[in-house]
Structure 1
């Protein structure tokens, strides 16, 4: 990818933000870091580490993401880009939703941000389960690394998001009652089957 190509990902008129970061003159914005990490297929932590090298900053122990931390960060980035079209809920919102649904205070805005950056060496199971609840995905999403399982969950979540947007915009008003009810039932049953399969320890 050339510097010129990066403009479409950072949504800027020119590649100057990337050029300035690579030359160690001005760091990327948080939004640009997230967008470019997805475009380069790396974690935010890996991209930020590269940026630090451009600024001549020495690496510090613990800055590089662990294997588990990098996996969780990658999965969160996949949710952001594939299920939410690049605009996921804020870290604060996810922490609040996860805690509310889990019934206990296991997440904070800082913890969610650190998980997204791959900075947590050994993510706690309770935190990942609460995060799964916040995203409305089954906990198995964070517990395994099977591409087919991930694809199924992400695809289903994306459909659910689109359906929610349709309802909010009143798009279903153009459909007769019976087909609209069938569509809602189909999407609802699909999600219930996935969640039920995970809860019983069976493949979805």
Structure 2
């Protein structure tokens, strides 16, 4: 667990800058004044779940005041939300925090229901929570790139990094943190779109966020180069974007298994049932058609 680094003298300096007394800070976080004094003189260290409240009390950024050297695991996410294990039962709707404890200790993963509940409680995405859970089980998982909403063209800002964020999300979720080279992406996009729309320099600029706006044709080619439908680069709904990426991840896994002969034994009836299930599920997610061209 990469705990946040606590430095009492740094806390004291930040409190002085904020022009707050030890008493006012103590009142804000619900402890006695002498407890704050012990923290500032490094005679005691506050529990990790106290740190968010302490940072707010002295008007400081949590990451700046108490940095963490490494990506978070489940315990870190809970503590960053200012919650104890006992607090989680309010969200998991259970009598005890045993399920949370088992997941935090790398013994048994959370159920999907608890994953959804805790991701909301902790203020993180489901992908971020699942990545943290993998770390709790000992896996080395990179930080999940946040998937931002693509605003309408008239609402976009010059410094918008939405395209770069979408590329980074695909890199982490689909490619395991290692994208093809910029030249390879450009070549694949041009080949699949049938037009010379991408260059190595342009792909690099989009990936690094120095180029923030592009024509629809270029975004289409970029999506195709990453083996995704163009909607991924155009949708303003992050849930749809996540769905596209998740579908590609599953597709990749089954492609590998099929290449190894692992899926050859699926009965035709089972295939048909699975196809119907996926079709019905997608229809429920996307909703009824509203007319117009596809």
Deviation at 1:115, TM superposition (A): 0.8
SS in 2 for 1:126: helix
Deviation at 1:162, TM superposition (A): 1.2
Aligned residue for 1:98? 189
Instruction: Say which of 179, 182, 200 aligns to 1:88.
Output: 179
Aligned residue for 1:163? 254
Aligned residue for 2:143? 39
* Alpha carbons of structure 1 residues 87 and 166: separation in structure 2 relative to 1, 3 Å: farther
Pair 1:113 & 2:217 matched = no
1:84-130 alpha-carbon deviations (Å, 9 max, x no partner): 22233332222111101111111112211211101103223221110
Q: Distance in 1 between matches of 2:202 and 2:256?
A: 28
| Structure 1: unaligned runs, 5 residues or longer | 7-37, 44-64
Aligned residue for 2:169? 78
Pair 1:152 & 2:256 matched = no
- CA RMSD for the aligned pairs? 3.6
Q: Distance in 2 between matches of 1:187 and 1:134?
A: 29
TM-score, reference length from structure 2: 0.40
Q: Distance in 2 between matches of 1:186 and 1:133?
A: 26
Q: Distance in 2 between matches of 1:103 and 1:97?
A: 10
Deviation at 1:77, TM superposition (A): 0.7
Q: Which has the higher contact order (CA 8 A, sep 6+)?
A: 1
Aligned 1:1-204 pairs, distance under 5 A: 2-3=68-69, 5=70, 39=143, 41=145, 66-68=158-160, 70-173=161-264, 175-178=265-268, 181-182=271-272
Contact 1:106 1:126 in 2 (8 A): yes
TM-score, reference length from structure 1: 0.56
Task: Spell out structure 1 runs of 4+ moving beyond 6 A.
Answer: 186-190
How many residue pairs match? The answer is 143
1:59-91 alpha-carbon deviations (Å, 9 max, x no partner): xxxxxx9444x1000001111111222233332
